[in-house]
Amino acid sequence: MTAAELHTPWDDLRAQLSRIRENLDAKQSNSVALAERLQQRALAFRAPVAVPTSPGRETAVVTFTTGGEHFGIAARFVLQILPLDHYSPVPGAPSFIRGVVQYRGAILSVLDLHRLLNLPEQGLADLHQVLIVQAGGRQIAIAAGDVEDLRMIADDQIQSAPTMTDEFPSHWVLGICDTDRVLLRLDEILQDERLTAWRSASAGAR
């Protein structure tokens, strides 16, 4: 089998992550404090990921942080990972919509998951990247503080989700891994009535 035949969309996602990290390093190199943070982040990236020894199905997951919380979504939903250089705020938009960005000729809403899930605030958001995602025929850009990795997670590493709040319903959650990382069901989240109402309102305003 040739190298071209072995190439997968996940290779493209890993390459995008690498380019984004290089750009962030260049932009932040003049700040000692930020440089220290990046050094710690680089050490974390080099830490080996445990590979399960028992056979079973695995899911490719893109892991990221936002608002101090750790999340993951199935890589099959992720079209691209981009730096969040700028976005356009939208007057009158709900708090969970940061604004809009352009992506391949389309205008996509920038979703702040932390606000949509009504999680407690943990300081100012430090948003550097967006995940362009698609599920159920819907596209949106998810704001992230840091897109951490693309990794394989075995089914036996995923724990059942605990009872959630009304704002964070259990059917949005696939499960928990790494003790505190919430694996999200993106297809369920994008059907939320608040996002549906926003899509209808924003489409009517264009």
According to the model, what pLDDT value does residue 77 have?
94
The tokens describing 184, both together, are 């999200």
Helices (H), the chain: 3-6, 9-28, 32-46, 113-116, 186-189, 193-205
| Residue whose token pair is 């599920």 | 135
According to the model, what pLDDT value does residue 13 have?
72
Q: Are 143 and 97 within 8 A, CB to CB?
A: no
According to the model, what pLDDT value does residue 4 have?
55
Beta bridge partners of 183: 72, 175
Q: Say which residues have a Cβ less than 8 Å from residue 201's Cβ, sequence separation at least 6.
A: none
Q: Are 61 and 48 within 8 A, CB to CB?
A: no
Where in the chain are the domains? 58-205
Q: Per-residue confidence of the chain (206 residues) as pLDDT tens digits? A: 555 555 566 676 777 676 666 665 555 444 345 445 444 544 443 344 344 444 578 889 999 988 788 999 999 999 999 988 888 999 999 999 999 999 999 999 999 988 888 876 654 457 788 999 999 889 999 998 888 888 899 988 888 877 665 667 788 888 898 888 999 999 999 998 999 898 888 776 65
According to the model, what pLDDT value does residue 110 have?
94
The CATH code of the domain at 58-205 is 2.40.50.180
pTM (predicted TM-score): 0.70
Taking the C-alpha atoms of residue 93 and residue 58, their distance in angstroms, rounded to an integer, is 38
